Amino acid sequence: MKRVLCVLLAFSAMLALPVFAQTATGTMDVQWDAGKADCSNEAPRPLQVHRYNDSTYVLRENLCTTYEAPFMYLLIGEAKALLIDTGDVAQAQKVPLASTVMSLLPNVQGAKMPLIIVHTHGHLDHREGDAQFASMPNVQIVGADLDHVKAYFGFQQWPDGVAEVDLGGRIVDVIPTPGHYPSHVSYYDRNTGLAFTGDFFLPGRLIIDDANADRASAKRLADFLRTRPVTYVLGGHVELNRHNDLQEMGSSVHPDERPLPLSKDDLMNLPAELANYNGFYGQSGMFVMYSQTRVLQGMAAAAVVLLIMLVLAVRWMLRRRKRVKAAKAS
Ligand SMILES: [Zn+2]
Ligand SMILES: [Zn+2]
């Protein structure tokens, strides 16, 4: 009987594969600064730092400093630290990003722990802060263009495959997620179960540059995370209020802003949402999906049509006036 029990236990353990170690806990209980309608006097703190746990920090630039108010993530391992994105502001006087990040890093053998700076993608609001780290010792900045991303992480068959960064006792997986941007990647921290999805997946506008690539990325990321523990999915911005209405574009204040985290279920639903997207514009629940390029092309085409109609109308009026004049003269 005992033997049967052992076999059964071994079998059930096999079925339970893959087995993941328990994730380190943390808290996303934080009230992000809402910005201000008038930022001219008494500017709020330019950079807010939230401690998720001892070795994980979420940073955000203030809406008064940049309406993009991007999020950045600092993961500290035993040997190295990883900063995901550097935000929208290059000047340290405006946002003291580098000094803040350095103050959070522990010392290793009498010096600050080495820091690797990576990005979710190459849009400027995620990498302007690189400049502040440019001449710092022990800091490596990985370029955000496709060549640098492929070379640094070692992607042989982009956008297939998953890379990993070993921070010492903390491994972060790197999953290609192009669609919003050609070299976009998402990160999965095995230690905390946090997934960082940049502008590919966030509570707000999903600006899709390449719909087919985006759909494939959603499937790739969902397939990768399906069997893994996911605590929270954290994007690059929040652009919704608590009723899931979009915040005004370019505004320096986000009234009643909704929390940053999305859930694993939200991410698992993304492939189905994108399957229904027409490649131009679509809204489904809290997600607004659109192609900025195609919307701009549409607006440009509409402007051209309007211009042609205006020219035709003026020509018609001039001809009419000429006819009236000729009729009066005869
Ligand atoms: Zn972007
Ligand atoms: Zn962005």
pLDDT of res. 299: 79
Q: What is the whole-number distance in angstroms between the Cα of residue 68 and the centre of ligand 2?
A: 7
Distance CA 69, CA 238 (A): 8
pLDDT of res. 20: 66
Q: Which domains does the chain have, with CATH numbers?
A: 22-290 (3.60.15.10)
Q: What is the whole-number distance in angstroms between the Cα of residue 192 and the centre of ligand 2?
A: 23
CA 221 to chain centroid, in Å, comes to: 14
Counting ligands in written order, which one lies closest to the CA of residue 178? 1
The per-residue b/e assignment along 80-97, b for 16 or more CB within 10 angstroms, e otherwise, is bbbbbbbbbbbeeebbbb
pLDDT of res. 322: 87
Counting ligands in written order, which one lies closest to the CA of residue 204? 2
Counting ligands in written order, which one lies closest to the CA of residue 85? 2
Counting ligands in written order, which one lies closest to the CA of residue 207? 1
pLDDT of res. 12: 47
Counting ligands in written order, which one lies closest to the CA of residue 122? 1
State pTM to two decimals. 0.87
Q: What is the whole-number distance in angstroms between the Cα of residue 207 and the centre of ligand 1?
A: 8
Q: Mean pLDDT per segment of 10 residues, for the chain of length 330 residues?
A: 48 51 92 91 90 98 96 98 98 97 94 97 98 96 98 98 98 98 98 98 95 97 98 97 92 95 97 92 86 78 86 88 82
Q: What is the whole-number distance in angstroms between the Cα of residue 319 and the centre of ligand 1?
A: 50
Q: What is the whole-number distance in angstroms between the Cα of residue 124 and the centre of ligand 1?
A: 8
- Residue among 143, 224, 148, 154 at smallest CA distance from 190: 224
Q: What is the whole-number distance in angstroms between the Cα of residue 110 and the centre of ligand 1?
A: 38
Q: What is the whole-number distance in angstroms between the Cα of residue 321 and the centre of ligand 2?
A: 54
Q: What is the whole-number distance in angstroms between the Cα of residue 174 and the centre of ligand 2?
A: 18
Counting ligands in written order, which one lies closest to the CA of residue 177? 1
Could you give the 3-state DSSP secondary structure of residue 156? Answer: coil
Let me know: does 236 contact 71? Beta carbons within 8 Å.
yes
Let me know: does 142 contact 112? Beta carbons within 8 Å.
no
pLDDT of res. 284: 79
